[in-house]
Each structure stands twice: as structure tokens, then as C-alpha cells.
Amino acid sequence: MDERYGVAIGSAEYWRQGKFVDHGLDLIPTFDAHYSVSKEIPTDTLGYNAVVLYLISDIRLRETILSLSLLHKNVPMQPWPIVLFHTDDMKSPIARRSFMMRIYDALGRDEKAKKFMQRIEFVHLENWALPPDFPTDKDVVNPSFDYAWPDYHIMCGFYAYQIFDHPRLQNVTYYMRLDTDSYIYKPLCYDPIDIVHTRNKIYGYRSLMWDPPFVIEGLWDFTDQYARDHPEVENMLKKNGLQWPNGRIHGAMGEADYPTYYNNLEVVKLEAFRQPAVKQLLKEIMKDPNRIYNYRWGDAPIRFMTVNMFFDVKRDVEEYCGMKYWHSGNWHGNKCRCEDELAGRT
């Protein structure tokens, strides 16, 4: 006998009295938009709030489901909202509901899955477009990374500078970004967001990488000139040990790779990136939209440049270790025991 339904599940009465309807519906989440499990988070005690965010598309839903499943299974954290930014391809309520049910199935259809699903919210990006007056003919622009133009370049612009002013994030302390194919594939012993907060950091990343010359045209020269024009930036880059290629000769650095934070996984303290000095840098970059939307300056090198220009990397930045992370065909980052990262490795 099941007390919830007054009959034994599977019995003749169970079917005749229609108890199977109640039982069946109980197994299907309502995804109540008016209730959020984040209300259960003691933000006053923690001293911060946060979101996990993705930028999804309808051609990457399978990998998004896998990434979310591994987040659910392997990453200990408060039940922060999971913001799924999207463009017009996921604007249909039918498409979103179908996607939600696919996620729920992948998570195991239990109570924990229901609570995880309740964290998900869809946020439509209203202005997913090239800058005003920028050419829309690929043959005219002749962009680097032409096969992915313009959406990839628009994505770079979104994460490089637009995200800091997005209305959904205005009252948020931290965001944790994951790409649709970001996979934390083994259980993690620490909360990546809380690590950044408790250690008073402004940025957390998993690994350093490099962007090749064909997607950073002019970036070394821009970095050089901006540092020369701003002595405080020059001093911080020197303190952070930036290695200039080819003797830092203006015009002769274009064949060198540019360092990046591999920011398909990152934790960002938004307040730090809204300060006037950072906004001034990003505004200067956007004075020539070709930099992002033609030459394909990515959000990863721009993030590296921003952090190293304005923050003490040793003091303000957390390089995660002990995290089994896979993205775009590779395992990335330094190796250590998860427990060492949790304990505060030196």
C-alpha cells in the first residue's frame, strides 16, 4: 500500500481508480517559474550571490545536456540559478520545454533532478548582432575565422565586454561560465565559486593557453601602446611578468602567440570588471570594431589582457587545480590533488 495514493502501486485498483495519473504526474517536474530553490541559499550569511551561465544554441543541445549532467553530478555548490543565455533559435517555448524534459531524463528523473531543473532559467539575448554600421557581407569583411563568422565573433564580443552590463547580472556578485562542451568529468571536492570568494579573488580559471597570430592581428601592438599610454598599466604588466615577444618592438610582435585564460570555464567577480579603468580599456578596444568582429580578437586574450593590466595576478587570481576538466578535445590545466587545491596549495 502506498499512503500517497491509497492503493498498492500496480494493483487493479491503482489502474481502475486512476491513481496511476497522480503517480505518473508526480514523476514529472512542473518547473514552476514562480519558485526558485535559490531562495533556500543563505546569501546574507555567505556574503555573496552567484549564477552559473551558459550560452546555448539549438545545434549544441546534446553537449549542453552532458555538461549540465556532469555539473549536477560532480560539482558541489549552492543551488545558484543556471542562466542559459540564448538567441532566437531557442526562443520558442516549445523548444525550451522539450529541452528541459531531455535534461530531466538525462539527470535520472528523481527529486534531486527536479531541484536542479528548478534552477534553470532561459534569458534571450535581444541584440545578437554585429555593431551598427558594421558590414554584414562576409566577402566585404573577409574575416579571420571566416567559417564561423559572424556568430563566433559576436560571441567573443558578448563575453569580452557586453556581459558585464547585462541586466540579468546587475545584482550578481559572481558568475561561473561554462561552455556547452565544458565537462567537469570527475567529482570535485571544492566549490569553484566559493573558493574565489573565501580567498578574496576576483577571477578563477582552469588553465593558460595561447591564441595564434592569425586571430590576434594588432593585439600585441595594442597592448604595448595602451601600456605606454597608461603608466599604472605598464607597472602592473611588469609586476605580473608579462613576456613581450621580439624585444617589444612595435610592429614586430605580430608573429607571436598571445597568452589567454582558457575561459570556457571561469569565475568572475563582476564588480571588479565594472570599474572605470576596465571599462575604459574595453571602450578603447571597441573604437575599432574590426578588432573583434573581423580580426577575431577573442574574449580569452582580452580577458587575459584585462586581468594582467589591472590586477595583481598572484594576489587576485585563482588557478584551479585538482579539477578533471575536458574541453574541445583536450584535458587542460595543471595537475594536483583536489584536496591540495581545497587546502590552499602554495
- Tally of domains within the chain: 1
Does residue 177 lie in a domain region? yes
Distance CA 232, CA 220 (A): 18
273: which DSSP letter? Answer: G
H-only helix segments in 142-180? 151-160
Q: What CATH number corresponds to the domain at position 118?
A: 3.90.550.10
- In angstroms, how far apart are the furthest CA atoms of the chain? 85
Residue 3 lies in a domain: no
What cell was used for 27? Answer: 514523476
- Tell me if 232 is assigned to some domain: yes
Tell me what pLDDT residue 229 has. Answer: 99
- How far apart, in whole angstroms, are the C-alpha atoms of residue 209 and residue 297? 14
The answer to whether residues 123 and 86 touch, using CB atoms and an 8 Å cutoff, is yes
Neighbours of 29 (CB within 10 A): 19
Percent of the chain past pLDDT 70, that is, above it, reads 95
Residue 10: its pLDDT value, please? Answer: 84
Q: How far apart are CA 15 and CA 8, in angstroms?
A: 10
89 domain residue, yes or no = yes
- In a 3-state reduction of DSSP, which class is residue 70? helix
Extended strands (E) in the chain? 50-55, 82-86, 120-124, 174-178, 182-184, 203-205, 208-211, 258-261, 265-269, 317-319, 325-327, 330-331
Q: Which residue intervals of 87-181 are DSSP H helices?
A: 93-107, 111-118, 138-141, 151-160
- Over the stretch 213-270, which tens digit does the pLDDT of each residue have? 999 999 999 999 999 999 999 999 999 999 999 999 999 999 999 999 999 999 999 9
Tell me the C-alpha distance between 168 and 32, whole Å. 19
CA distance 129 to 309: 29
Judge contact between 102 and 69, C-beta under 8 A: no
Domain annotation covers residue 137: yes
Residue 6 maps to a domain: no
Please determine, for residue 304, whether its predicted confidence score (pLDDT) is greater than 70.
yes
Question: Domain residues for 78?
Answer: 31-343
Q: Does any domain span residue 237?
A: yes
- C-alpha 10/C-alpha 14 separation (Å) is 6
Is the Cβ–Cβ distance between 43 and 49 less than 8 Å? yes
Residue 289 lies in a domain: yes
On the question of pLDDT at 42 being above 70, the answer is yes
33 pLDDT above the threshold of 60: no
Span 270-279, mean pLDDT? 99
What is residue 132's predicted lDDT score, i.e. its pLDDT?
95
pTM of the predicted protein model = 0.91
Residue found by looking up cell 580580426 in the block: 295
Residue 47, classed as helix, strand or coil, is coil
Q: Which of 124, 123, 115 is nearest to 36 (CA)?
A: 115
Given a cut of 80, whether residue 330 has pLDDT beyond it is no
pLDDT digits 0-9 by tens, 135-162: 999 999 999 999 999 999 999 999 999 9
Query: What is residue 29's predicted lDDT score, i.e. its pLDDT?
Result: 66
> Is 237 strand, coil or helix?
helix
